[in-house]
Amino acid sequence: MAADTESFDLLVLGAGSGGLAAAKRAASHGARVAVVEGDRVGGTCVIRGCVPKKLLVYGAAYRQWLADAPSQGWLPLLGDGLRCDPALLLEQVRREVDRLNTLHIGWLEKAGVALLPGWARFIDAHRVAVRSQGGQERLVSADRILIAVGGRPTRPAIAGAELGWVSDDLFELQALPERVVIVGGGFIACEFANILQGLGVDVVQLVRSERILRGFDGEAATLLQESMQECGIDLRTGVVPAAIETEAAGGLSLRTASGETFRCGGVLLATGRRPFLEGLDLAAAGVQVVDQRIPVDANQATNLPHIFAVGDVTDRINLTPVAIDEGRAFADSTYGNRPRQVNYGTVPVAVFSRPELATVGLSEEAAIERHGSDAIRVHRARFRPMAQALAKRGPAVLLKLVVENGSDRVLGCHMVGDHAAEIIQMAAIAVGMGATKADFDRTMALHPSVAEEFVTMAN
Ligand code: NAP
């Protein structure tokens, strides 16, 4: 090995949620650790995902609160109205992201983890070249390597796709156009449809299938879809995009396969993400790639026993808390003498739309597929929450339990409504522990609340 090669016990590729968690935990167990990052420390979640998105969700929510204000006795003073300035919100969000980025760098330093800025490329199974922005390369070797480079948004294979934005681009905008077309019906499409609509943008959302959020409980997803349409999002289903073109008069137009044209100031392509493997030269190390992702075993090991992978690059459950737990489980098992595996059994999920949709366990459809329709039953409550009573507005909230008849076990717990994510996070403890419907019924209601309906549903 070359004399100028730096060496570590663990080299982590990627300073996102999974990589940072693994690096700090391994260092806390006494390992000498370095992290390679070509972009900003924090990864998708902190820099261009969960965190700035949620800040925009909070900002966009004011539209509804302000609209409701008169029904609560809050009247605007003449000539002293409020207007939305999305540019100001976007700038504030970027500043908060900068603050968090600095914090994460500080936390690495504090943990004794070396940060190697640059892009990683495997030389062989133990060595990696790190190329800095200035073009200098340094060679690093390690006993173990953890690949935690995450994913990137994809664009559909349509003409002019490069003219559209992906979600990363939205956080960099200096202003929002009057009208945006969103392609997709998944997490990102639904969340941004609500954010943009809340910030005053005229939103058209084009979904190629019959409803949004494939894989989610159908009743819950349908209620969210109807709620989004009611609040003014022009959400159309069964629409397939064909091309994006520039307009002579400025702006863009999106043409659909059926020949319809939507003019707008911007197109957001929210059509999925895939592992970011470009430039890694995994073949040089002999790391196996299947369907553009790195397969791993229950201990996060790749086909090579000293190279591991966690998070979106493995394309399993692509959520921040899952990546963090995978990173920590790897570090605890490998360096902390505390072998453990990640519990993928009951992972709660939320779509931060308006209203929120959150879920843990099986959807009604998945429960029927797994257990048969005679083996399960469904309990639900659907009503207008008290918070909206004075404003006399929708949408309704939905709380739903999917229960196995034989065992009485709650297989799935779903909610559409304000604070659904906060409520389902707690319900996930019960579902994860194997709670039965009788356990839910035995729990005293907390009145008046929306969540109390989960423990008062008739049998
Ligand atoms: P997604 O949830 O997989 O949704 C992709 C959407 O794009 C689907 O509606 C899909 O339709 C549609 N689509 C795919 N190719 C298309 C094409 N060629 N033309 C038209 N529509 C097309 O992906 P995402 O919303 O981009 O999010 C990516 C991942 O990020 C998620 O899976 C999740 O893991 C993570 N994420 C999580 C959160 C959260 O936890 N709140 C938020 C954002 C992102 P079909 O359903 O018909 O395939």
Model confidence pLDDT, tens digit, residues 124-157? 999 999 999 999 999 999 999 999 999 999 999 9
Question: Would the pLDDT of 82 be above 90?
Answer: no
Q: Which two tokens stand for residue 167?
A: 């979600």
pTM to 2 decimals?
0.97
Give the N- to C-terminal CA distance of the chain in Å, as an integer.
69
Question: Would the pLDDT of 27 be above 90?
Answer: yes
**Average of pLDDT values for 294-315?**
98
Domain end call among 302, 335, 368: 335
- pLDDT value, residue 81: 76
Tell me how crowded residue 106 is: count the other CB atoms within 10 A of its CB: 11
Residue 70 belongs to a domain:
no
CB 402 within 8 A of CB 411: yes
Confidence of residue 459 (pLDDT cuts 50, 70, 90): confident
**Same-domain status, 181 and 290:** no
Q: 21: closest CA among 253, 323, 438?
A: 323
**Average of pLDDT values for 18-28?**
98
**Same-domain status, 321 and 186:** no
d(CA 388, CA 230): 15
**Same-domain status, 112 and 215:** no
> What's the mean pLDDT when you consider all of the chain?
97
Domain end call among 255, 271, 287: 271
Return the CATH number at 114. Answer: 3.50.50.60
Question: Would the pLDDT of 13 be above 70?
Answer: yes
Domain end call among 284, 301, 335: 335
Query: In this predicted model, what pLDDT tens digit does every residue of 371-414 receive, in sequence order?
Result: 999 999 999 999 999 999 999 999 999 999 999 999 999 999 99
Residue 116 belongs to a domain:
yes
Tell me how crowded residue 51 is: count the other CB atoms within 10 A of its CB: 19
Question: Would the pLDDT of 3 be above 80?
Answer: no
Residue 42 belongs to a domain:
yes
**Average of pLDDT values for 215-221?**
98
**Same-domain status, 88 and 222:** no
d(CA 398, CA 383): 7
**Same-domain status, 201 and 261:** yes
**Same-domain status, 136 and 147:** yes
Query: In this predicted model, what pLDDT tens digit does every residue of 310-353 receive, in sequence order?
Result: 999 999 999 999 999 999 999 999 999 999 999 999 999 999 99
**Same-domain status, 267 and 282:** no
Between 459 and 450, name the one with better pLDDT. 450
Q: Which amino acid is at 279?
A: G
CB 44 within 8 A of CB 369: no
Our count of domains for the chain comes to 3
d(CA 322, CA 292): 20
**Same-domain status, 330 and 243:** no
- pLDDT value, residue 397: 98
Which residues are registered as beta bridge partners of 409?
436
Which residues are registered as beta bridge partners of 380?
400
d(CA 371, CA 404): 8
- pLDDT value, residue 2: 47
**Same-domain status, 113 and 220:** no
CB 286 within 8 A of CB 270: no
Residue 257 belongs to a domain:
yes
Residues with a CB atom less than 6 Å from ligand 1: 156, 183-189, 191, 208-209, 214, 241, 270-273, 318-319, 349-352
Q: 358: closest CA among 431, 416, 430, 435?
A: 416
Cα dist. 11→79, 302, 440 in Å? 60, 15, 46
Among 271, 353, 359, say which to mutate for ligand 1: greatest number of ligand atoms within 8 Å of CB.
271
Residue 170 belongs to a domain:
yes
**Same-domain status, 27 and 140:** yes
- pLDDT value, residue 1: 43
Domain extent for 429: 355-455
- pLDDT value, residue 79: 67
Residue 25 belongs to a domain:
yes
Among 44, 45, 47, 187, say which to mutate for ligand 1: greatest number of ligand atoms within 8 Å of CB.
187
Q: What is the DSSP string of 181-196?
A: EEE-SSHHHHHHHHHH
190 CA from centroid of ligand 1 (Å): 9
**Same-domain status, 434 and 301:** no
**Average of pLDDT values for 179-193?**
98
Question: Would the pLDDT of 167 be above 90?
Answer: yes
Residue 434 belongs to a domain:
yes
**Same-domain status, 217 and 90:** no
| Cβ burial, residue 61 (10 Å; 0-12/13-18/19+) | middle
Which residues are registered as beta bridge partners of 202?
179
Residue 340 belongs to a domain:
no
Return the CATH number at 448. Answer: 3.30.390.30
Confidence of residue 251 (pLDDT cuts 50, 70, 90): very high
Lowest mean pLDDT among 67-71, 93-97, 264-268: 67-71
**Average of pLDDT values for 68-81?**
84
Residues with catalytic roles: 447
- pLDDT value, residue 314: 98
Nearest atom of ligand 1 to the alpha carbon of 350: 41
CB 130 within 8 A of CB 34: no
d(CA 353, CA 415): 12
Nearest atom of ligand 1 to the alpha carbon of 351: 41
Q: Containing H/E element for 269?
A: strand 266-269
Which residues are registered as beta bridge partners of 122?
128
